[in-house]
Amino acid sequence: MSNARPPSEMYREAAQTWVDLDAAARLLESSKSAVFSQKVLGLMAEFPAYSLAKAELKIKGSDDWQVYLDKTERARTLANRAKIEVDYRKMQAMEQQSKEAYERQEMRMVRT
């Protein structure tokens, strides 16, 4: 391998990045209902004449809510990309291990 760092260290770093990004995405995903409820309650407090359905529609149609949804989706996409990097690092290590085993087998065959 051309990289001087051990594959295990590169895998560990990629895995840690994935764990952090996945945690951030899960937090946004799990907070969605609470954030939505807080926005609805805030709007209903500001406009007491609004029905619950009207307040929900206003929130769902708002730019602010769309920004939240976009942020959540970007966080999940980043976490998914980080997971791909973890899998890639794992495959690289397995390929290197396989190559080294093949080279050892070749050396045994040359000596006999």
Q: Delimit the domains of the chain by residue range.
A: 7-111
Question: In this structure, how many other beta carbons lie within 10 angstroms of the beta carbon of residue 51?
Answer: 9
pLDDT per residue over 55-99, tens digit each?
A: 999 999 999 999 999 999 999 999 999 999 999 999 998 998 899
- Could you tell me what percent of the chain has a pLDDT over 90? 79
Output the CA–CA distances (angstroms, integers) from residue 93 to 17, 34, 80, 86, in the order listed: 18, 42, 20, 11
- Tokens standing for residue 50: 């609004």
**pLDDT computed for residue 109 by the predictor:** 87
Q: Which residues of 57-75 are buried (b: 16+ CB within 10 A; e: fewer)?
A: ebbeeeeebeebeeebeeb
pTM for this entry: 0.79
Contact 106, 24 (CB under 8 A): no
Residue 41: pLDDT band with limits 50, 70, 90? very high
Contact 9, 62 (CB under 8 A): no
**pLDDT computed for residue 34 by the predictor:** 98
Residue 3 has pLDDT above 80, yes or no: no
